[in-house]
């Protein structure tokens, strides 16, 4: 039962996002959004009870696991450690969801630039950052699979001026975890 508090916290985050963005929409749209959000809460609560994925798919097209230089917890500035892995690829390379789950957030922040966050089994959050652009048509609350395109590799946020890469983070309820041991190569396309 110790899993419940984070699920409740997630619900409050979603509710807060909903109330912040719902004010400017019409009442009808707001009701639709609210119904959509409520469905999402139920789905996320269901996902939360599942065991977390032991293996996840490489989130950048045509990159293999052996190409990733392990920078987990490498120093970043004076007081930060790298809470994820950087997966380098040409600008515009498709970023695919590593797991099944629901899109919890699509948004911009100063470090990550354009980001997508997906809630997966076990309440894990998968974080895709520095996106050059979002995949057309994706929305918060969408169900995704490892075949779903989320966006494209870029240099937004604090990756400006660096070679284009995806910053990929995995956050378990207990905190950040190293994505590298979980990653598996996708089957080669013919
Ligand atoms: Zn990074």
Question: On the CB side of 21, how many CA atoms lie within 13 Å of its CA?
Answer: 16
What does the angle CA 81 – CA 183 – CA 74 come to, to the nearest 5 degrees?
15
> How would you classify the pairing of strands 80-81 and 75-76?
antiparallel
**Rounded Cα–Cα distance for residues 9 and 23 (Å):** 22
Question: How many Cβ atoms from other residues are within 10 Å of residue 110's Cβ?
Answer: 7
Beta bridge mates, 132 = none
**In the CATH hierarchy, which top-level class contains the domain 56-184?**
mainly beta
Give the orientation angle of helix 4-22 with respect to helix 27-48, to 10 degrees.
160
Cα 83 to ligand 1 centroid, rounded to whole Å: 7
> What distance in angstroms lies between residue 86's CA and the mean position of ligand 1's atoms?
5
Using the mean position of ligand 1's atoms as its centre, give its distance from the Cα of residue 48 in Å: 26
How many A from CA of 38 to the centre of ligand 1?
33
Residues in the chain: 190
Cα(165) to ligand 1 centroid in Å equals 8
| pLDDT tens track for 47-76 | 889 999 999 999 999 999 999 999 999 998
Rounded to the nearest angstrom, the distance between the alpha carbon of 167 and the centre of ligand 1 is 4
Give the model's pLDDT for residue 1.
44
Distance CA 89, CA 85 (A): 13
19-43 tens-digit pLDDT = 545 445 567 777 777 787 788 788 8
Distance 4 CA to ligand 1 centre (A): 30
Q: One digit per residue, pLDDT tens: the chain, 190 residues? A: 445 566 666 655 555 555 545 445 567 777 777 787 788 788 888 888 999 999 999 999 999 999 999 999 999 888 899 999 999 999 999 999 999 999 999 999 999 999 999 999 999 999 999 999 999 999 999 999 999 999 999 999 999 999 999 999 999 989 999 999 999 999 877 6
Determine the distance separating the centroid of ligand 1 and the alpha carbon of 175, expressed in angstroms: 16
DSSP output for 137-190: T--TT-EE-TT-EEEE-B--GGGTTSPPEEEEEEEETTEEE-SGGGEEPPPPP-
The Cα–Cα gap between 122 and 48 comes to 4
Q: How far is the CA of 95 from the centre of ligand 1 (A)?
A: 15
Residue 58: the pLDDT is: 98
C-alpha of residue 103 to centroid of ligand 1, in Å = 20
Tally of CA atoms within 13 A in the half-sphere of 54 that contains its CB: 1
CA of 81 to the centre of ligand 1 (A): 10
Q: What is the SS3 assignment for 95? A: strand
Could you tell me the distance, in angstroms and rounded to a whole number, from the CA of residue 158 to the centre of ligand 1?
A: 9
b/e map of 50-80 (b: 16 or more CB within 10 Å)?
Answer: eebbeebbbbbeebeeeebeebeeeeeeeee
pTM of the prediction?
0.81
For 158-186, give one letter per residue: b (16+ CB within 10 A) or e: bbeeeebbbbbbbbebeebbbbbebbeeb
């Amino acid at each position: 039962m110790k899993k419940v508090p984070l699920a409740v916290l997630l619900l409050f985050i979603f509710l807060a996002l909903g109330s912040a963005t719902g004010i400017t929409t019409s009442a009808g749209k707001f009701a639709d959004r609210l119904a959509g959000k409520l469905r999402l809460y139920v789905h996320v609560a269901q996902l939360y009870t599942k065991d977390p994925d032991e293996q996840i798919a490489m989130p950048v097209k045509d990159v293999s696991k052996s190409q990733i230089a392990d920078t987990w917890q490498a120093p970043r500035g004076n007081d930060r450690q790298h809470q994820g892995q950087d997966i380098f690829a040409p600008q515009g390379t498709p970023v695919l969801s590593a797991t099944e789950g629901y899109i919890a957030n699509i948004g911009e922040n100063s470090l990550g630039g354009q980001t997508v966050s997906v809630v997966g089994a076990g309440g894990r959050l998968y974080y895709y950052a520095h996106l050059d652009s979002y995949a057309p048509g994706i929305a918060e609350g969408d169900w995704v699979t490892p075949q779903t395109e989320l966006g494209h590799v870029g240099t937004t946020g604090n990756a400006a001026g660096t070679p284009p890469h995806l910053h990929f983070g995995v956050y378990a309820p207990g905190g950040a975890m190293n994505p590298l041991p979980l990653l598996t190569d996708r089957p080669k396309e013919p």
